[in-house]
Chains A and B, each alone.
Chain A
């Protein structure tokens, strides 16, 4: 970290993806959560990120056609 003015919201923003991906250390998680507890601005954006990830996952998901499942079963080695 440089010695210049340090904005805790910037830091929190940088931690958002790794936080959601669960790759932060315990100390970093604590740091993010302490900031979030007192910062409505970042809290909203973290909540949005969660909603956004769920949205994307649902938006791009398409169930497998049942006929395909049957075709895959037929590829098994006959006993």
Chain B
């Protein structure tokens, strides 16, 4: 074999090894990708399609991933971009309802709604919330707010990673997170009150 063909064979072998490693590392993150995808869209089928598209694109464009950088953030960026490309309508800035002023209000509401009169243990208070209400409240958040809440509160990204994934300033991440969390709590306080 000539030197040139030997070196290109070595290059091919290195490429293949890097690609396999990249694909395995990406697959190890698929549970987390699915977890967020499931809450970005309305149904399990759509979430499955979105995750498949995400991985198809990631595997196709693996060379554009810089080894040593954050693969998880890179995958989530593909996921959120694809979700927007899939025809999620750009939302008009929703008419923002006034927020509850206090971050303690959900606890205060739930504590008040206790029927036995005794001040409840705060660990028991959370049991007054229902799982379905949480899923619905999250689904009802405007997209922009939900994206940030999902990335930070479900996928554990830092504000700065979330800013890069969504390509928005970090200050916007913080304000959407603040507002999104308050809206979520507001919705849960309302449903808890309706059910008690």
| Interface residues in chain A, defined as those with a beta carbon under 8 Å from any beta carbon in chain B | 13-14, 16-17, 21, 23, 44-45, 47-49, 51-53, 55-65, 68-69, 71-73, 75-77, 79
Which of chain B's residues have a CB closer than 8 A to the CB of A76? 20, 23, 27, 59
Chain A interface secondary structure, helix, strand, loop or mixed? helix
Q: Out of A45, A59, A72, A73, which one reaches B131, CB within 8 Å? A: A59
Which of chain B's residues have a CB closer than 8 A to the CB of A57? 153-154
Rounded to whole angstroms, the CA-CA distance of A58 and B129 in the bound complex is: 12
**B44 and A52: CB pair below 8 A?**
no
**B35 and A51: CB pair below 8 A?**
no
Q: Given A13-B103, A53-B153, A57-B153: A75 and B56 within 8 A (CB)? A: yes
Q: Out of B48, B59, B123, B178, which one reaches A77, CB within 8 Å? A: B59
Chain B interface secondary structure, helix, strand, loop or mixed? helix
User: Which parts of B3-31 form the interface with A (CB within 8 Å)?
Assistant: 16, 19-20, 23, 27, 30-31
Rounded to whole angstroms, the CA-CA distance of A13 and B107 in the bound complex is: 12
Q: Given A51-B123, A72-B27, A77-B19: A61 and B35 within 8 A (CB)? A: yes
Which of chain A's residues have a CB closer than 8 A to the CB of B73? none
Asked if B134 is at the interface (CB within 8 A of a chain A CB), the reply is yes
Q: Out of B30, B102, B138, B185, which one reaches A72, CB within 8 Å? A: B30
**A62 and B103: CB pair below 8 A?**
no
8 contacts between A and B (CB under 8 A): A52-B106, A59-B134, A61-B154, A64-B51, A71-B52, A75-B56, A77-B23, A79-B20
| Interface residues in chain B, defined as those with a beta carbon under 8 Å from any beta carbon in chain A | 16, 19-20, 23, 27, 30-31, 34-35, 38-39, 44, 48, 51-52, 55-56, 59, 102-104, 106-107, 122-123, 125-126, 129, 131, 134-135, 138, 152-154, 159, 177-178, 181, 184-185
Q: Out of B35, B55, B102, B123, which one reaches A62, CB within 8 Å? A: B35
Question: 3 closest pairs, A vs B, by CB?
Answer: A59-B134, A64-B34, A48-B122
**A16 and B107: CB pair below 8 A?**
no
Rounded to whole angstroms, the CA-CA distance of A13 and B101 in the bound complex is: 11
**B19 and A60: CB pair below 8 A?**
no
Q: Given A13-B103, A60-B154, A77-B23: A69 and B56 within 8 A (CB)? A: no
**A48 and B102: CB pair below 8 A?**
no
**A72 and B178: CB pair below 8 A?**
no
Which of chain A's residues have a CB closer than 8 A to the CB of B39? 60
Which of chain A's residues have a CB closer than 8 A to the CB of B51? 64, 68, 72
Which of chain A's residues have a CB closer than 8 A to the CB of B138? 56, 60
Give, as a whole number of angstroms, the nearest-CB distance from A74 to chain B: 10
